[in-house]
Amino acid sequence: MLAQSNINDVYTDLSGLNGIKLAGRQNTAAGLQQVAKQFEAIFLNLMLKSMRDSTKVFGEGNMLNSNEMEFYQQNFDNQISLHLTQGRGIGLADMMYQQMLRQYEVETEAEPDRAVAGESKSQFSSPSEFIETLLPLARKAASKLGADPRVLLAQSALETGWGEKIIRDSRGANSHNLFGIKSDTAWQGPVAKTATLEFVDGIPQRKKASFRRYDSYAQSFNDYVQFLRTNPRYSQAIKKAQDPVQFANELQLAGFATDPDYGQKISNVLNSRTMHSALSGQSVGD
């Protein structure tokens, strides 16, 4: 749970940064918003202090420049700073908040209703339902890679048979793994072990492997983005992300799958009649 801070106590106090440090570290939207608001208040408070200091130069010897007056002026400036940051403030907090959301890739709200409803699906009845449910998630993930969301949908459709053959764990529970990402030493989460088809020297062989298991399809998309961005071997694929065909081919060259025709198969799904039909009536852009 997010640690809450007393806004009036910390917003205009530099030492108050420690009071919401935990909230910021948690990278929650609410925590980052608190941090942004505090910095806006501190910025305004420092501006007012700077203005007060500049007037003192011209007011030396003034009987009003006493320690008591300075104390009351400081409290007054604190209140002004708090008042100016209420609501939308001066816009600085909003700008910082949006920048931190992008930097730390924090989710601010639930996916659209249809995507939320689809998070519990263990199987999809049709390609159209597959696309309708996952398109909002694909758009968000693709925007982080600079890719066309359709190529992510095509890859996940290839890996899962349009959602009909999603990997399950030993209890039959849905792994939500849309991209067939295996569990490696870097993965500390739950796994699902199952038989898979691997190509060894171009020859398909049945093997048992451990795959990453997620709590939702949103997590699968998020981990897919993280997986590509943190593995240097996929740097070329990301550079070619704007071109779906080249992106798919670069994934294959980087070894995303052992299938020697993996890139071509993604392109085939992308350009298939099934994909065009499933996308009919859908807005692919934001």
Q: How far apart are the first and last CA of the chain?
A: 31
* CATH number for 273: 1.10.530.10
51 within some domain: yes
CA dist 41 → 52, 78, 246 (Å): 16, 8, 48
Give me the catalytic one of 111, 159, 223, 250.
Answer: 223
Pairwise CA distance, residues 240 & 145, whole Å: 10
Residue by residue, pLDDT tens for the chain (286 residues) are 444 444 444 444 544 455 555 555 555 566 666 777 777 778 777 787 787 777 665 555 555 566 666 766 777 777 776 666 665 567 777 677 666 655 655 544 434 444 444 555 667 889 999 999 999 999 999 999 999 999 999 999 999 999 998 998 877 889 999 999 998 888 888 998 877 666 666 666 677 788 999 999 999 999 999 999 999 999 999 999 999 999 999 999 999 988 889 999 999 999 999 999 999 877 776 5
Look at the pTM and tell me if it is higher than 0.85.
no
98 within some domain: yes
Among 104, 126, 149, residue at a domain's last position:
104
**One domain, residues 50 and 80:** yes
**One domain, residues 84 and 119:** no
**One domain, residues 52 and 74:** yes
1 within some domain: no
**One domain, residues 165 and 251:** yes
15 within some domain: yes
Residue 204 bridge partners (DSSP)? 199
Among 59, 80, 104, residue at a domain's last position:
104
Indicate if 198 belongs to the active site. Answer: yes
Phi, then psi, of 241 in degrees rounded to 5 = -60, -30
Range of the domain at 245: 113-279
- Describe the crossing of helices 262-270 and 149-160 by its angle, rounded to 10 degrees: 110
Max distance between CA atoms of the chain, in angstroms, equals 92
The pLDDT of residue 89 = 63
**One domain, residues 208 and 249:** yes
2 within some domain: no
Indicate the number of domains in the chain.
2
Give me the catalytic one of 198, 201, 259, 261.
Answer: 198
Among 69, 104, 139, residue at a domain's last position:
104
**One domain, residues 149 and 40:** no
**One domain, residues 200 and 59:** no
What six digits make up the tokens of 25?
A: 């570290």
**One domain, residues 88 and 186:** no
CA dihedral 93, 285, 148, 211 (to 10 degrees): 70
The pLDDT of residue 63 = 55
286 within some domain: no
**One domain, residues 123 and 191:** yes
**One domain, residues 217 and 119:** yes
Indicate if 68 belongs to the active site. Answer: no
**One domain, residues 153 and 60:** no
**One domain, residues 169 and 222:** yes
What six digits make up the tokens of 250?
A: 């670069």
